[in-house]
Amino acid sequence: ALYLGHGAPPLLEDPEWMGQLGGWAAGLPKPSSILIVSAHWQTAPMALSATRPVPLVYDFYGFPQHYYDLTYDAPGAPDLAAKVKGLMPSSEPVLERETRGLDHGAWVPLMAMYPDADVPVLQMSMPDLDPKRLYEVGQRLAPLRGEGVLIIGSGFLTHGLPFIREYFMGKPGAPQWSIDFDDWAREALEAGDLDTLFDFRHKAPGMPYAHPTVEHFAPLFVTLGAVARPDDAPTFPIEGFAYGLSQRSFETR
């Protein structure tokens, strides 16, 4: 189970970032399929993306045309979709969105990690942004890990885009609020302190600058729910900052 920072499409041209994600995937057992939850899809009831190949979702604006010409033709995952629906209680309906392709929170990191697009992929929406509910969803998905399914929460550990203009203009380093939030999250994750993580809006230093809206932190809770034991210390294959934002990503096995 992974949580990663997915970045915008131009990061596909960043050799360091591509090397980090590609190297990370190379060190993992090849999954039978991938279930990914992205910061960019929230809908209730919970929904699953198309179980057959359909065009990608180009949910970004103002970029050069070649980013809108990218494709990622991974196989669909209808068997995985059926298993996901079977793991949810009757009180948690799951819709199928047959025409919705993968959004950039899914296909950008997958292009870096599995460029051959030879692993079936299914995307699942977040029904809301409540940490405890997302954690419970992750707990229900946990049995899939025993079948070789890779569960990915895709967001960004800090995402204060309104407050990093100077870093986009080339300023090195990161703002203190991003550094403080990153340190806090690392310590809480290493300690398996779920109560603190659940209450990040009030307990995390750097808020609300680190997350003026919280959808990029929320997928982390699906990942944590899918962990065998919350106190299993994660490893951090990717750390550091890009444009002032924390790239910290983690895995648990």
Contact (CB, 8 A) for 112 and 4:
no
Given this model, what pLDDT does residue 228 score?
72
Task: Identify the pLDDT of residue 230.
Answer: 64
- The tokens for 39 are 């910061």
- 26 burial class (0-12, 13-18, 19+ CB within 10 angstroms)? exposed
Question: Contacts from 213-217 at CB under 8 Å and sequence distance 24+?
Answer: 213/159, 214/129, 215/39, 215/40, 215/42, 215/126, 215/129, 215/155, 216/39, 216/155, 216/156, 216/157, 216/159, 217/155, 217/157, 217/159
- pTM of the predicted model as reported, rounded to 2 decimal places: 0.97
CB 201 within 8 A of CB 207: yes
Token pair of 227 as six digits: 């962990």
Compute mean pLDDT per 10 residues along the chain, 253 residues long, and list them: 94 94 97 98 96 94 94 97 97 95 98 97 98 97 97 98 94 97 97 96 98 98 88 90 97 89
Cα 69 from Cα 14, distance rounded (Å): 18
CA distance 249 to 154: 9
Task: Give the bridge partners for 3, in sequence order.
Answer: 153, 250
